[in-house]
Amino acid sequence: MPDYMYLLESRLSPEQRAALERVQELSRSQEINVYLSGSAIRDLISGQPIRDLDFTVEGNPVRMVRELEKGGARVVWENEKLRHYEMIFAGDADGSISSARDDVYDRPGAKPEIRFAGITEDLRRRDFSFNAIAISLNAQSRGLLLDPTNGLADLERQEVRALSIHAFTNQPVRLMSILRYCARMGSKMETRTEEWFELAMERRLYENIEGADAGHEVRALAREENPTATLKQWESRGLLASIHPRLQKRKPDYDSLTKLTRVRSNFLSVGIRPRMQVAVTGYVLGRLKSREAEAALRNMEFRSAEVEAIAHLIPEAQKVVKILKSRKTNSARDAYFYLASVPPEMLVFIEVELPNPRAVSKIRNYIQKWRPIRQALPLGELDALGVPRGPKFDKIIEQLFEMQLRGRARSPEDRTKALRNLAGIKEEPKKKEEKEKKKPTKGKETAPATTAPEAKDAKIAKDAKPGDKRAQQAA
């Protein structure tokens, strides 16, 4: 049996692991059962990057959410009726916390009655089988995999299977979400699910997709590695009209979205995770008229802050480019600290939309050179030299950073020497090597000693008479 907790913890980023541990601590202290469910488990088992940590609790999670907020987490969207909270955990990890519930329908397509329930009922009421898997995070069952609908088998077959014949009737937005999953995972619909999907399309159930549900899909689209693939799927089925009636004809800005995907992947490769919701939404609606785009955002129930961010995206990007072109960021040090203060999603957008050579050069130096230098600053080495943490310690590190930005003190030997100089630590004196001095001999130099055979031959040659064979042999 696989050790799912070991597999999970080995795949999480340090920030995600810290969020997971904090939620487990709070569940124990508040005596509430908690499970990691949905997208995190699906991505874990299918080998996809784990984007979100979705926690399901048996009970009301509001106390847990408030405690997490005290530690630096932020609630970005909430539904008090469903007890559902979309969050950015401390450390910049995305996720959600929600109560386990069951949705009870009087008839297909009616509004459901919400009943808070246990984890098994919550998993069974979900949309697709691979989203109905959870791992227990509770002390007595930690690591236990819950899969009441056999979603693991569907993941192995790379199939998307709906859990009910009324899946699309009850929630028509699933027509959009199933195509998004197929585009992301390269999967196909299970045979019966495909029949239900085609029947729902014939009955034009997509006309019943509510604006808020379409907005949720657009937000989810922004987290996809390749939004264009999903949009193409929606376009092929006429579902872009669920975002705005004219979008099916006008089309999203596919070229810019493709460039955005490429630039974002460059940032992801160096450990920077931009949140591209604003830019992606802007490009999806970019070919609509301004009033049409505003109407679409209102219909999808985007918050006023989200609407303003989309409207001001280009003006804000122009301000950043202006500073990057100015003298304020001439030095590598000034450029680094300014770029570090700019949200990474803004830097991605600038490379795509406003590719000024000078600005783009500094952005690329930031992610490829300056930031790696900053991350590799030798704090431990300075500790080992006996410099206590404090203002002096920080000043030395900043001075070394500035030297390295100028191309100095890069090798280990030069770095250590620079740290000693900056800290005022003298170099240890080198030990003098003892060399044996040979005393010159007095008088004449003695000839090299001859070996015994050589001396014998010389004596024979001296004593022999002319013509003597021994003398010739000795010679």
Residue 78 pairs in a beta bridge with 85
Alpha-carbon distances, residue 19 vs 38, 143, 150, 367 (angstroms):
17, 17, 28, 26
Structure tokens at 304: 């006023």
Residue 471 has pLDDT above 70, yes or no: no
Using CB atoms within 10 Å of the CB of residue 289, give its burial: 0 to 12 exposed, 13 to 18 middle, 19+ buried.
Answer: exposed
Predicted local distance difference test score (pLDDT) of residue 439: 52
Phi-psi group of 227: left, alpha or beta (phi > 0 → left; psi -120 to 50 → alpha; rest → beta): alpha
Distance from chain centroid for Cα 44: 14
Confidence class for position 475, pLDDT limits 50, 70, 90: very low
| CA torsion angle 297 302 308 313 (round to 10) | -70
307-345 pLDDT, tens digit per residue, is 999 999 999 999 999 999 999 999 999 999 999 999 999
In this structure, are residues 120 and 148 in contact, taking their beta carbons and an 8 Å threshold? yes
- pLDDT surpassing 60 at residue 78: yes
H helices present in 186-328, as ranges: 191-202, 211-222, 227-236, 247-250, 254-269, 277-284, 290-299, 304-311, 313-325
Confidence of residue 467 (pLDDT cuts 50, 70, 90): low
Note whether 272 and 344 are within 8 A (CB): yes
Q: What is the CA radius of gyration of the chain?
A: 36
Q: What percent of the chain has pLDDT over 70?
A: 89
Average pLDDT (28-34) is 95
Residue 460 has what pLDDT?
Answer: 46
Q: Read off the pLDDT of each residue in 49-73 and give the average, rounded to a whole number.
A: 94
- Tens-digit pLDDT profile for residues 210-236: 999 999 999 999 999 999 999 999 999
Residue 339: the pLDDT is 97
- Tally the C-alpha atoms within 13 A of residue 370's C-alpha that lie toward its C-beta: 21
Which tokens belong to 71?
Answer: 């530690």
Q: In the structure, what pLDDT confidence band is assigned to residue 428 with cuts at 50, 70 and 90?
A: low
Predicted confidence at residue 189, as pLDDT, reads 97
- Per-residue pLDDT at 454: 52
Question: What is the pLDDT at residue 168?
Answer: 97
Q: What distance in Å separates the CA atoms of residue 257 and residue 44, rounded to the nearest whole number?
A: 27
Average pLDDT of the chain, as a whole number: 89
Backbone dihedral region for residue 298 (phi beyond 0: left; psi -120 to 50: alpha; all else: beta): alpha
Cα–Cα distances (Å) from 51 to 5, 11, 131, 248, 377, in that order, read 17, 11, 14, 29, 29
Give the max Cα distance, the chain.
140
Query: pTM of the full predicted structure?
Result: 0.83
Half-sphere exposure of 445 (CA within 13 A, CB side): 3
CA distance linking residue 459 with residue 379, whole number of Å: 79
User: Which of 223, 226, 219 lies closest to 258 in space, CA to CA?
Assistant: 226
Average pLDDT over residues 83-104: 94
Give pLDDT tens digits for 239-250. Answer: 999 999 999 999
Q: What is the pLDDT of residue 103?
A: 94
What percent of the chain shows pLDDT beyond 90? 79
Of 109, 66, 101, nearest in space to 82 by CA:
101
Is residue 445 over pLDDT 70?
no
- What span, in angstroms and rounded, lies between the C-alpha atoms of 18 and 21? 5
Residue 425 is predicted with a pLDDT of 86
> Which run of H or of E encompasses 421?
helix 412-423
Q: Which run of H or of E encompasses 346?
A: helix 344-353
Q: Which residue has the tokens 């030297």?
A: 403
The C-alpha atoms of residue 70 and residue 446 are separated, in whole angstroms, by 93
Alpha carbon distance 150, 130 (integer Å): 8
431 has pLDDT over 80? no
Helix (H) / strand (E) containing 85: strand 84-89
Counting Cα atoms < 13 Å in the Cβ hemisphere of 40 gives: 28
Q: Is the pLDDT of residue 47 over 70?
A: yes
Other CB atoms within 10 Å distance of the CB of residue 357: 8
25-29, 152-156, 186-190, 445-449: segment of lowest average pLDDT: 445-449
Euclidean distance between CA atoms 138 and 24, whole angstroms: 7
Q: Rounded to an integer, what distance in angstroms lies between the CA atom of residue 129 and that of residue 131?
A: 5
Least confident of 49-53, 55-59, 127-131, 283-287: 49-53
Predicted pLDDT at 1 = 46
Length of the chain: 475
Sequence letter at residue 220: A
